[in-house]
Structure 1
Amino acid sequence: MGELADYLVQHDANFRKSRLPALYSDFRSQKTLNPDGYQANISAWLLALARLASEGLLARQGSQPSALVFDLDESLRKSLASKQFGQPLALGAVINEALAQKDLIPLQTFLHSNHNIYQHSWSQIPWDVMGWTLRQLGVIDPARGEDRIPKGNYVVMKNVEAASRELGEVIGDTAPRYDRVFTRGQFQALFAAVLGQDQRLSDTDTDVLLKFLSRDKDMIEYDGQTVRIRASGEARGITQEDSSMASIKELMGSLEHQIDLLNKRIDEQDQEARNAVLRKNRVAALAALKAKKRAESYLTARYATLNQLETVATKLQQASDQVQLVKVMESSASALKSLNAQLGGVDKVESTMDRLREEMSATDELSAILAEPTGMVVDEEEIDEELEALEKEQKKEDEEKQRAREEKQRSREEEQEAVKAMKALNELPAVPTGDEPERVGSPTKETGIANLTLDG
């Protein structure tokens, strides 16, 4: 309790401490006494709720955060309670005013309406239906009686419009058609972070945004499964070509993900084999190498399939670009007689190139019967050779380490011998450096003979 209130005080200028008493009071009577103050409080709360939703702070425990949709009931009042001022007493009036002004729209009404929300007014609904709906929501005369929060899921238009603006800056209508077509899942994955890196669009958010972009903003074409970003002059609706391109792109994305996983698996098994050789565990090394070979076989198959899909995708892109080029030349013979009657001449293009060369020779005889051996035959001799190579490599590393240890030992012994030699030199007597000591008495000295010379 109090966390959201504290967050608003720290991050929302409308919730400075001097304003809190008014915002948390029952200000419904101010609608007639002080309309400006009443509207200021309503606006402050709506902006605060939109901020909390966009940052994923209004999600109930255990539920997925939603940036574009409120899930409202009386628990919201408790979540926004202030430690000092308690629960907001006019929160129900805030929600009801937002519903009346279409700042909030019931989720199901938003998703199932065929009318543009900017052109269709509630005033066009017969009053008996309107009145019943508003009474059920508790909107009629919110200044009287209990301040109730109408329970339900509501689209936050402020956040939807913000997401639409952000998305409009990211996407463009000048890219080739192939690059502007997605499955619903691809669209959600690519643009999930449109509101920021810390907040992702939920599944419901994606449904709301796609509905808004297609019905109210006319930015995309959407049929519930395939999305195409619209370009100026394009025909309305999703075509079979759009669906095919989107499906191929999604399948290619799936294969690329599998290839990444298989590459990682191969690296892991290779390292496991090396570690097993280091531990002298031949059984584990063989098992790891077999697993590596299987993964390499799967990887080869995935690359082959991906290559085929990339070829098809390239052809689709080329065909799509060619169609756009022909449309640009529409003034020349009404687009070459409606693309030569949609290429219906020359015996239906030689019966569609003999049914596309008999379905590309039954897809090259079903890719040579799916590249033949399915029993995953493993070449034992090849594995033994690879294991032997790993063992030789390890043996060589061991010998190099042994030579390094012996060299280090010799260096240590030589250092010890040098230390011993130096110590022995230091223990020898010092060389005399002073005057010569007095000679010991001798007979020649005693008799004076030692002082005789040959000089006369």
Structure 2
Amino acid sequence: MSELLSYLQNNEPQFRKNRLASLYSDFSALSTTNPDGYTANLLAWRAALSHACLAGVIPSTSTSPSNTSHIPSRLSFAIDANLSKDLESKEWGRPLGLDAVVQDALGKREWIAYRAFMDAKEGIYVRHWVRIPGAGEVLTWGLRQLGFRFGEGGMTSGRVVVVENLELVGKEVVKRYEEGSKGRIERVYSRAAWKEAFGSVLGGKEMADSDVEVLLRFLARDKGVLAYDSSTVKFLAQNETQGITQEDETIAALKTLIQDMETQIKVLEGRVEKLGETAKEAVARKNRLSALSALRSKKLAESTLGKRQATLAQLEEVFIKIEQAADQVELVRVMDASAKVLGSLNKQVGGVERVEGVVDRLREEMEKTDEVGMVVGEMGRENGVDEGEVDDELELMEREERERREAIERTEKEAKEKREAEETKRKLDALEAVEREAREKENVRKQAKAATEKEIEESTMGMKRISLDPPNAEMA
């Protein structure tokens, strides 16, 4: 089983076993007998091949333009006998409805022929709504003109760009660009630097050269976010329409030169360090000739390193000056635009005299409004309303409200005093009960003490009556 077929069966829900028979059959006849099934098969194949292309599991072929590396294309793929072979199943053979899938996707512009995409002057989102008789024949003729070849079984070769994948990758590129700096200098790249910065937006996977060409074409023509030529790429600022200028090419070349110089310096630094270690090892082995040779090479490398560092310093100084000049140009442009805006606004205001006139008219109109209000108020007073009666009625209402509030407050105060009296009585009763209990305990204690003292006294008297002499002492 090929890598492509394995990917489809493991990742595409529509390619489960009970659907393979229908997907691998020649389902063109279903367009009239079962339109829903026909559409479902078309969608399943189109989505599966688009996803497989994005995953990089469709093998690159010789029809892949400008892609000499082994990196798979993720934005376009070739439709040929090799694709049909990679989709071949032991049980169901090769897919017989693939031609219908391709023609449907091309007709709906979900896929676009590679050459047509790259050569088109207008964007892919432009639609020409022109009714042309014999659309099928015209489509077949157009596909032939775009590099597709047909045999007895239908289309056998051609390359298509997957619009869905292109939009996804383009969105990721714009997102990464917007996360960084957007100054005049930062927006300019060499081709190589642009690929290094944005060629791995899909999970760190490297982008094929053919995909870079397709993506640049899409972002420049269809999205209008950048401009590019054979050596330079520039993201466009808002409302900027100018393409690549001589200044842009110089900035890109200078950035590339600085990057190359930094790489050379790192290599030379490593070489100097390594030669120094080699010389030390030779001295340790008492190999004088090897030590001298390593030291001579080290000196040459150090000399070259010094020159490279001096050159890099000069290039960086020039780059800083260019960056400052670019910022100044942008600043002057903004200031000029601001001056024009202020001039236009001041012109609309009409100067100090016009403003004073407007303020005077406004003041007059406000005075007229006040006069109208006074007249309306006087008309209200002429309607015969007795202001004295109104005041008396208001005073009566206020007095009744005041009496009502006083009655409520008095009731609340009496209830509060009653609660306080009851609480005081309860506390006094409790205190009296405690004192009574204490008195009773004291009486009990005194009675017990008196009884004890009486018992002691009686015991003492009894002991006094007892004689200490023996009973027969007198008789003796």
**8 Å Cα contact 1:74-1:149 kept in structure 2:** no
TM-score normalized with structure 2 length: 0.64
Describe the superposition over 1:107-139 as per-residue Cα deviations: whole angstroms up to 9, x where unpaired.
121111110110144x55977999455246379
**CA pair 128-274 structure 1, distance change in 2 beyond 3 A:** farther
The alignment partner of 1:280 has SS state of coil
Per-residue CA distance 1:49-82 (angstroms, 9 max, x = gap): 1222222221237854211121221110111112
- In 2: Cα distance, 1:43 partner to 1:94 partner: 8
Residue number in structure 1 paired with 2:218: 212
Gaps of 5+ in 1: 140-144, 336-456
Residue in structure 1 matched with residue 324 of structure 2 by the alignment: 318
Is the 8 Å Cα contact of residues 138 and 148 (structure 1) preserved in structure 2?
Answer: no
- Which amino acid is the alignment partner of residue 102 of structure 1? R
Deviations 1:237-264 (A, max 9, x none): 2222212111111111111111122222
How far does the alpha carbon of each residue in 1:303-353 deviate from its partner, in whole angstroms, 9 at most, with x for none? 111111111111111111111111111246559xxxxxxxxxxxxxxxxxx
> Which of residues 139, 164, 170 in structure 2 aligns to 1:164?
170
8 Å CA contact 1:95, 1:150 repeated in 2: no
Counterpart of 1:383? Answer: none
Deviates more, 1:109-118 or 1:34-43: 34-43
What is the distance in 1 between the residues matched to 2:301 and 2:293?
A: 12
| In 1, Cα distance between equivalents of 2:216 and 2:173 | 11
Which position in structure 2 is the counterpart of 1:297? 303
Aligned to 1:108: 115
Matching of residue 79 in structure 1 with residue 106 in structure 2:
no
Report the residue type matching 2:292 in the other structure: L
Amino acid corresponding to residue 90 of structure 1 in structure 2: G
1:178 Cα offset (Å): 0.4
For 1:27 and 1:331, the matched residues in 2 are separated by 62
Q: How far, CA to CA, are the matches of 2:2 and 2:338 in structure 1?
A: 70
SS of the aligned residue for 2:77 comes to strand
CA distance in structure 1 between the aligned counterparts of 2:127 and 2:263, rounded to whole angstroms: 44
For residues 193-230 of structure 1, the C-alpha deviation after alignment (integer angstroms, 9 at most, x for no partner) is: 12222x32211111111110011001112234322112
- Indicate the residue corresponding to 1:46 in structure 2: 46
AA matched with 1:31: S
Separation in 1, partners of 2:157, 2:70: 16
Code of the aligned partner of 1:237: G
Sort the Cα spacing of 1:138 and 1:100 in 2 relative to 1 into closer, same or farther, 3 A.
Answer: farther
Displacement, 1:171? Answer: 0.7
Corresponding residue number in structure 1 for 2:183:
176
How far residue 272 of structure 1 moved from its aligned partner, in angstroms, is 2.2
Aligned counterpart, 1:253: 259
Deviations for 1:161-196, whole angstroms, at most 9, x for unmatched residues? 111111121012862110011122211121111222
Amino acid in structure 2 at the alignment position of 1:106: A
User: 1:350 — aligned with what?
Assistant: none
For residues 311 and 39 of structure 1, what CA distance do their matches in structure 2 show?
A: 63
Task: Find the aligned partners of 2:72 and 2:131 in 1 and give their Cα distance.
Answer: 33
Structure 2 unaligned residues grouped into runs of 5+: 62-68, 146-150, 342-476
Aligned-partner Cα distance in 1 for 2:33–2:54: 33
Residue 18 and residue 282 in structure 1: after superposition, are their counterparts in 2 closer, same or farther (change >3 A)? farther
Q: Residues of 1 paired with 2:134 and 2:261: CA distance?
A: 56
Contact kept in structure 2, 1:2 and 1:83, CA below 8 Å: no
Conservation of the 8 A alpha-carbon contact between 2:3 and 2:57: no
Post-superposition Cα deviations, 1:370-400, rounded to whole Å, max 9, x if no partner, equal xxxxxxxxxxxxxxxxxxxxxxxxxxxxxxx
Q: Aligned Cα RMSD in Å?
A: 2.9
Contact persistence 1:174–1:231 (CA under 8 A)? no
Contact 2:261-2:308 at 8 Å conserved across structures: yes
Query: What amino acid is aligned across from residue 335 of structure 2 in structure 1?
Result: M
Q: CA, structure 1 residues 11+331, in 2 after alignment: closer, same or farther (shift >3 Å)?
A: closer
1:382 corresponding residue in structure 2: none
One-letter code aligned to 2:33: L
Report the residue type matching 1:212 in the other structure.
F
Distance 1:138 1:293, change over 3 A: same
Residue range with higher mean Cα deviation, 326-335 or 182-191: 326-335
Q: 2:98 aligns with which of 91, 111, 117?
A: 91
CA distance in 2, matches of 1:130, 1:246: 48
Total equivalences in the alignment: 331
Q: Are residues 33 and 313 of structure 1, via their aligned partners in 2, closer, same or farther at CA, if it must alter by over 3 Å? A: same
Q: In the alignment, which of 305, 313, 325 is matched to residue 307 of structure 1?
A: 313
Mapping of 1:3-152 within 5 angstroms? 3-60=3-60, 63-121=70-128, 124=130, 131=137, 134-135=140-141, 137=143, 147-152=153-158
Once residues 144 and 33 of structure 2 are traced to their aligned partners in structure 1, the CA distance between those partners, rounded to angstroms, is 22
Aligned to 1:353: none
Name the larger-Rg structure.
Answer: 2
For residues 125 and 150 of structure 1, the distance between their equivalents in structure 2, rounded to whole angstroms, comes to: 28
Paired residue type of 1:219: V
Amino acid at match of 1:76: L
Which segment drifts farther, 60-69 or 128-137? 128-137
Query: Percent identity among equivalent residues?
Result: 41
* 1:280 paired to 2:286: yes
Against the structure 1 CA distance between its residues 280 and 158, is the aligned structure 2 distance closer, same or farther, given a 3 Å change threshold? same
Letter in 1 for 2:102: I
1 CA distance for matches of 2:72 and 2:23?
25
* 2: CA distance, partners of 1:233 / 1:23: 48
1:89–1:147 contact (8 Å) kept in structure 2: no
CA distance in 1, matches of 2:57, 2:125: 29
2:271 to 265, 268, 272: 265
Q: CA deviation at 1:149?
A: 3.6
Alpha-carbon shift at residue 85 of structure 1 (Å):
2.2
Partners of 2:142 and 2:295 in 1: how far apart?
A: 68
